[in-house]
């Protein structure tokens, strides 16, 4: 991806508002963290393809700089649904009384996320990041869980710095303001091909996060109470969107045009990194580990009780018939 394309993506992150249909019966406001990773690009592409419109929904879509910002938008009620909020941040906010509910998983495992350095960096391996500055997106986002998981795996203790979106992090890293950047494919594939960056480690290197749900879709408790049928339509459309995203060539074209990334890179991403297994919606896996992480990050002081977890996770209440 060229620098001008990254700038274009940053512009999208600030201003992209998409409406699936002006004639839809119901409107839902949806915030998506980042947008560039394939799992978060799917709902954007699905809106453009008219999938939500088929289910009687008019989706107003806003892209945020990360899961923490998405979480705050849902808590404040400025949006109805948040896509890809960090699980640890959600757990922490709920434990403090935030009116949020989990309506599905978004990403389980971190096969798509990595840390990197400019090619000319003296840092050669992940073990060399001890004491260095390492980027993550926003407080409460899954990227913090990912980079700390990598650090724990390689037994190093870097200094963590919030750098925002993928394009912003790329600029910060390449200019030397932080030593190590974070990214998620499809970003990074072209940069590696062009010899601009070196990947030091993937999130999947850390055993503890390989089968852990790090990103979830959320809503405000008031929205769930008052607009449950609309949320059921939304989840039906979302399941359809995922099936479409992993079977249709149309999604490659839409995502490529939206983010100015070659279609072959999008295809490589969905085939080798952000697989259908990773984007399962029906279960928050590894929630015990996520609670431990949230306590370690000081997002919460104690694990949720069984009753609290049942209140927070509302996947079954909105699951379409016969969907796993």
- Give percent above pLDDT 90 in the chain: 83
Question: What fold, for 113-209?
Answer: D-Maltodextrin-Binding Protein; domain 2 (3.40.190)
86-109 average pLDDT score = 96
pLDDT at 12: 46
Strands (E), the chain: 17-19, 26-33, 57-64, 81-86, 100-108, 113-118, 133-136, 159-162, 181-184, 197-202, 213-220
Give the residue extent of every domain in the chain.
3-109+211-318, 113-209
pLDDT at 112: 92
Q: Does 3.40.190.10 match the CATH number of domain 3-109+211-318?
A: yes
61-85 average pLDDT score = 93
Sheet with strand 197-202: strands edge to edge: 181-184, 113-118, 197-202
Q: Could you check whether 3-109+211-318 and 113-209 share the same CATH topology? A: yes
The chain-wide mean pLDDT, for the chain, equals: 91
Could you read off the pLDDT of 13-49 as tens digits, one per residue? Answer: 444 544 444 444 799 999 998 778 899 999 999 999 9
pLDDT at 33: 83
- pLDDT band at residue 2 under the 50/70/90 scheme: very low
Residue 213 bridge partners (DSSP) = 108
Q: What are the backbone dihedrals phi and psi of residue 113, each rounded to the nearest 5 degrees, phi first? A: -110, 145
pLDDT at 103: 98
How far apart, in whole angstroms, are the C-alpha atoms of residue 51 and residue 37? 20
- pLDDT band at residue 324 under the 50/70/90 scheme: confident
How far apart, in whole angstroms, are the C-alpha atoms of residue 263 and residue 38? 12
- pLDDT band at residue 75 under the 50/70/90 scheme: very high
Residue 178 bridge partners (DSSP) = none
């Amino acid at each position: 991806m060229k620098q001008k394309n990254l700038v274009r993506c940053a512009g999208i992150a600030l201003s992209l508002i998409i409406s699936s249909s002006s004639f839809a019966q119901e409107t839902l406001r949806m915030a998506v963290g980042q947008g560039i990773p394939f799992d978060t690009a799917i709902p954007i592409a699905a809106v453009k393809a008219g999938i939500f419109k088929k289910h009687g929904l008019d989706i107003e879509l806003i892209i945020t700089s990360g899961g923490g910002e998405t979480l705050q938008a849902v808590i404040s009620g400025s949006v109805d649904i948040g896509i890809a909020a960090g699980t640890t941040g959600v757990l922490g906010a709920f434990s403090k009384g935030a009116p949020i509910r989990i309506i599905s998983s978004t990403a389980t495992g971190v096969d798509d996320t990595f840390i990197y350095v400019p090619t000319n960096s003296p840092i050669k391996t992940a073990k060399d990041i001890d004491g260095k500055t390492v980027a993550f997106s926003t407080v409460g986002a899954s990227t913090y869980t990912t980079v700390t998981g990598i650090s724990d795996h390689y037994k190093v203790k870097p200094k963590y710095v919030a750098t925002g979106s993928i394009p912003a992090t790329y600029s910060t890293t390449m200019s030397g303001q932080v030593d190590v950047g974070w990214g998620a494919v499809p970003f990074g594939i072209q940069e590696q091909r062009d010899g601009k960056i070196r990947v030091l480690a993937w999130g999947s290197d850390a055993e503890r996060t390989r089968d852990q749900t790090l990103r979830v879709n959320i809503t405000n408790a008031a929205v769930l109470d008052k607009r449950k049928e609309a949320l059921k339509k939304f989840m039906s459309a979302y399941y359809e969107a995922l099936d479409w995203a992993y079977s249709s060539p149309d999604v490659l074209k839409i995502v490529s045009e939206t983010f100015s990334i070659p279609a072959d890179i999008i295809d490589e991403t969905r085939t080798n990194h952000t697989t259908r297994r990773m984007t399962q919606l029906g279960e928050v896996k590894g929630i015990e580990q996520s609670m431990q992480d949230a306590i370690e990050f000081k997002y919460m002081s104690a694990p949720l009780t069984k009753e609290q977890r049942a209140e927070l996770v509302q996947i079954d209440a909105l699951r379409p018939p016969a969907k796993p």
